[in-house]
């Protein structure tokens, strides 16, 4: 039985999972670091346990501490969210060894799809179209020879990679060795595995992914595709569902391949099969993400399927509530990832206290946030602080609602990517669906002059105000006890016994 769920994560995704559990009548347990004592997910969960200092390596990545909290709290299952330990087979194994329910895919599927080269071999055997490339066990000399056969441009990719780490584009032969060395170094640092392989770089490609759901009864369905081509350095910034480049016929075909791929991997729970779509409508298997995706809300908005609830139900041993015939796409949804980064200064991280916050509302607007006024945005974790999603009956309406929602959204105290999203929504290329994975880096330039002067002044004023309040708080602390405590004690003495 699944009665109490520990959420091994933080921020907006932890809040999202808490809400899904509450709607299913499940108790929730949060974990937090020193930096997250007052975080929203801590406030919303029914129980919360401290697991260590602010750095993730000493808290959210500590498997033993999380398992210990699960046992002490009496949790029945663990949901990893995304990021951190969500695709760690060692963590999944530790959860199962502790006698708990792992709310995710089988360990074998995590290991198989986590090794990108092994995933390519598996998908090729299952009949999925694969980008031309090499195996992961070749030496540098063999890779150079293979590169000449495949042809340039190429991608050097980490076999155990993900999130753009250990990945380098190579456009001419003389750069190959340097790119391979850099990719090996980054892969070793990020994943403890320096194996690399080569793939043909598909020019002008779009990044299309298909959401799949599977249960333990052999039922596997897909929920249509998501368009994820608006990205920077292989990191997604804007997603939408469906894709403006995918026809009904192509959607059905890619969906069938994604379901076949999930079956080949022995998959259970929610997962995503990612493809590259070229300018001739040919598509190629890229990888499979064995976890809940950041951008899952856009699929939920157009299908009406609560993906997190389905994960919980499947983990509890139940069948999917839907068949493939039940899935119908309705309208259009767009998601903007709101990052604590400065788009005017090459996206450098922005930290500090959020002095003021105005959040958008209204028809067709969904906001999933992990911050509130007064919260400190620290450098210890991912820069994602919120996801803004809009829905419309058409893509045009979804864009208009996103433009309105972005105009209503105000975050003062730190820099965010809100100005970038505004300019993308105003781009005629984006509005016309004329973009690919190189759009932001090759066909788009953020205009600094478009930032209103009064917002710059307000940001400076908010920062100064926050600093002044901090100084006042320090002075009060140095002066001793608060006078309000004294008043409270005097009132208490007046009370009759």
Q: What sign for the dihedral angle of Cα 428, 452, 411, 377?
A: positive
- DSSP codes of every residue in 7-26: E---HHHHHHHHHHHHHTT-
- DSSP codes of every residue in 368-417: EES--TT-EE-SSS-SEEEEEEEEESSHHHHHHHHHHHHHH-EEESS--S
Nearest-angstrom CA–CA distance, 214 and 311: 9
**Could you give the residue ranges of the DSSP H alpha helices within 304-355?**
307-315
Q: What sign for the dihedral angle of Cα 450, 402, 290, 15?
A: positive
291 in catalytic set: yes
Q: For the CA atoms of 17, 23, 26, 32, what is the dihedral angle to 10 degrees?
A: 30
Q: Residues 232, 291, 366, 401: which is the catalytic one?
A: 291
Q: Is 62 exposed, middle or buried (0-12, 13-18, 19+ CB in 10 A)?
A: middle
63-73 helix and 89-97 helix, angle to the nearest 10 degrees:
30
Cβ 333 vs Cβ 307: under 8 Å: no
Cβ 365 vs Cβ 401: under 8 Å: yes
Nearest-angstrom CA–CA distance, 200 and 194: 20
Give me the residue label for tokens 């974790």: 381
Q: Nearest Cα to 237, choosing from 407, 400, 383? A: 383
- DSSP codes of every residue in 429-478: HHHTT---TTHHHHS----GGGS-HHHHHHHHHHHHHHHHHHHHHHHHHH
- DSSP codes of every residue in 102-151: E-SS-HHHHHHHHSHHHHHHHHHHTT--B-SB--SS--HHHHHHHHHHH-
Q: Nearest Cα to 337, choosing from 452, 249, 480, 232? A: 232
Beta bridge partners of 27: 4
As annotated, the active-site residues are: 291
């Amino acid at each position: 039985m699944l009665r109490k769920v520990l959420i091994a994560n933080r921020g907006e995704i932890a809040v999202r999972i808490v809400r899904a559990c509450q709607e299913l009548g499940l108790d929730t347990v949060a974990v937090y670091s020193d930096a997250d004592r007052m975080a929203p997910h801590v406030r919303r969960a029914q129980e919360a346990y401290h697991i260590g200092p602010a750095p993730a390596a000493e808290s959210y990545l500590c498997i033993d501490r999380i398992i210990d909290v699960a046992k002490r709290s009496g949790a029945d299952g663990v949901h990893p969210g995304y990021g951190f330990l969500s695709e760690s087979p060692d963590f999944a194994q530790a959860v199962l060894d502790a006698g708990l329910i792992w709310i995710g895919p089988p360990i074998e599927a995590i290991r198989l799809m986590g090794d990108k080269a092994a995933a390519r071999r598996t998908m090729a055997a299952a009949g999925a179209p694969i980008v031309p490339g090499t195996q992961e066990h070749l030496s540098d000399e063999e890779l150079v020879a293979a590169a000449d056969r495949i042809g340039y441009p190429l991608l050097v990719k980490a076999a155990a990679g993900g999130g753009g780490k250990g990945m380098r584009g190579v456009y001419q032969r003389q750069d190959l060795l340097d790119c391979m060395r850099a990719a090996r170094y980054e892969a070793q640092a990020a994943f403890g595995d320096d194996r690399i392989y080569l793939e043909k770089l598909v020019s002008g490609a779009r990044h299309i992914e298909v959401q799949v759901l599977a249960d333990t009864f052999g039922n596997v369905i897909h929920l249509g595709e998501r368009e994820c081509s608006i990205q920077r350095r292989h990191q997604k910034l804007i997603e939408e569902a469906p894709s403006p480049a995918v026809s009904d016929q192509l959607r059905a075909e890619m969906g069938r391949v994604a379901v076949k791929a999930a079956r080949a991997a022995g998959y259970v729970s929610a997962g995503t099969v990612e493809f590259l779509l070229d300018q001739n409508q040919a598509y190629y298997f890229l990888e499979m993400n064995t976890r809940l995706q950041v951008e899952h809300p856009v699929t939920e908005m157009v299908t009406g399927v609560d993906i997190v609830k389905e994960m919980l139900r499947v983990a509890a041993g139940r069948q999917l509530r839907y068949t493939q015939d039940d899935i119908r796409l309705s309208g259009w949804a767009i998601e903007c990832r709101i990052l604590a980064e400065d788009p005017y200064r090459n996206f450098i991280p922005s930290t500090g206290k959020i002095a003021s916050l105005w959040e958008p509302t209204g028809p067709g607007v969904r906001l999933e946030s992990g911050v509130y006024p007064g919260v400190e945005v620290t450098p210890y974790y991912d820069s994602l602080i919120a996801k803004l999603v809009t829905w419309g009956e058409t893509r045009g309406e979804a864009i208009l609602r996103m433009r309105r929602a972005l105009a209503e959204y105000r975050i003062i105290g730190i820099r965010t990517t809100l100005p970038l999203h505004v300019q993308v929504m105003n781009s005629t290329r984006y509005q016309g669906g004329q973009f690919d994975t190189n759009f932001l880096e090759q066909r788009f330039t953020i205009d600094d002059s478009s930032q209103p002067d009064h917002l710059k002044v307000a940001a400076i004023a908010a920062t100064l105000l926050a600093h002044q309040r901090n100084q006042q708080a320090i002075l009060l602390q140095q002066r001793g006890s608060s006078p309000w405590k004294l008043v409270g004690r005097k009132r208490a003495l007046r009370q009759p016994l």
